[in-house]
Amino acid sequence: MEVIIQPDEDAAARLVARIIAHHLRRNPALVLGLATGRTMTRVYHWLVRLHRDEGLDFSRCRTFNLDEFIGLPPEDPHSYRHFMNTHLFDLVNIDKARTHLPDGMAPDLEAECERYEKLIRTSGGIDLQLLGIGRSGHIGFNEPCSSLSSRTREKALCPTTLEQYAPQFGGDPHQVPRRAITMGVGTILESKRCLLLATGREKADILHRAVEGPVSAMVPASALQLHPRCTVIADEPAAEQLEMKEYYRWLFDNEPEWEPFRT
Ligand code: F6R
């Protein structure tokens, strides 16, 4: 795992967008794993800019989102399908038939989870998985106690997550859907590369536990320590509690791979 610290939220999101663009240019048929949420809106803003200003081409890539709420149809403004269409898919040259999210309205949710796993497999697996981190320590909606080898499945949202999402549902945690379909931790760990973005002081404690604490199902994001190629990008407020900050900065300044991304 490596950690890159950026001065602020916008710089962190822009760096993530530039890394995604770099991979997409090298492999236009990239299989991209995507996330939603507040943190991701800036990443998608920058990806749309790169498409408009530099012709970043999405026409051959395929995407798989991490999760979707159960019981929300795609046209519901709170659904993740709606989020993705609004923030990215409607604004770039992507073929929507190649964009995938779990179907939270499927009559047989177990079969839907199996279908999703199979589709990821038959697409060749995820090349680059974008991740946020929840205040509970979740990645996707893998809440505390999630098995570190879990696959795509139904999951109940924990109280911390209901609180985190309440502002998007009129401030009332009771309005947040109780359940979601999420890729499992095991599914995420199989992607060839992971990029986790954390911004804001409210993520500082959980980021410290995920990156520098023990690997534990109580902090599902800590499972990323087991991933052979995981990069964490944090802004200064989210990085506040990291104990090895100066070492991470030194690595970023000295690793040849990051040279094109230092400015
Ligand atoms: C959403 C997802 C979640 C979010 C996390 C952070 O698709 O996978 O794990 O990434 O809850 O959300 P924000 O960015 O809203 O703080």
Residue whose CA is at the smallest distance from ligand 1 atom 1: 36
State whether the beta carbon of 139 lies less than 6 angstroms from ligand 1.
Answer: yes
Q: How far apart (Å, rounded) are the C-alpha atoms in residues 234 and 207?
A: 9
Q: Which positions ≥6 away from 240 have C-beta within 8 Å?
A: 201, 204
| Amino acid at residue number 49 | R
Q: Give, for ligand 1, the residue of 126, 141, 197, 219 to mutate: max count of ligand atoms closer than 8 Å to Cβ.
A: 141
CA distance to 190, 203, 211, 237, 255, per residue, from 245 (Å): 28, 15, 11, 12, 15
C-beta of residue 207 within 8 angstroms of C-beta of residue 198: yes
> Looking at residue 239, which CATH number applies to its domain?
3.40.50.1360
* Residue 15 domain-assigned (yes or no): yes
Which atom of ligand 1 lies at the shortest distance from residue 203's CA?
A: 16
pLDDT at 48: 98
Q: What is the pLDDT of residues 158-181, one digit of tens each?
A: 999 999 999 999 999 999 999 999
pLDDT-flagged residues of the chain (< 50):
none
* C-alpha of residue 11 to centroid of ligand 1, in Å: 19
Number of domains present in the structure of the chain? 1
Q: What is the pLDDT of residues 122-151, one digit of tens each?
A: 999 999 999 999 999 999 999 999 999 999
* Residue 155 domain-assigned (yes or no): yes
* Residue 261 domain-assigned (yes or no): no
* Residue 217 domain-assigned (yes or no): yes
Number of Cβ within a 10 Å radius of residue 151:
17
Which atom of ligand 1 lies at the shortest distance from residue 141's CA?
A: 9
* C-alpha of residue 35 to centroid of ligand 1, in Å: 7
Domain assignment of residue 168, given as a range: 2-256
* Residue 262 domain-assigned (yes or no): no
* Residue 263 domain-assigned (yes or no): no
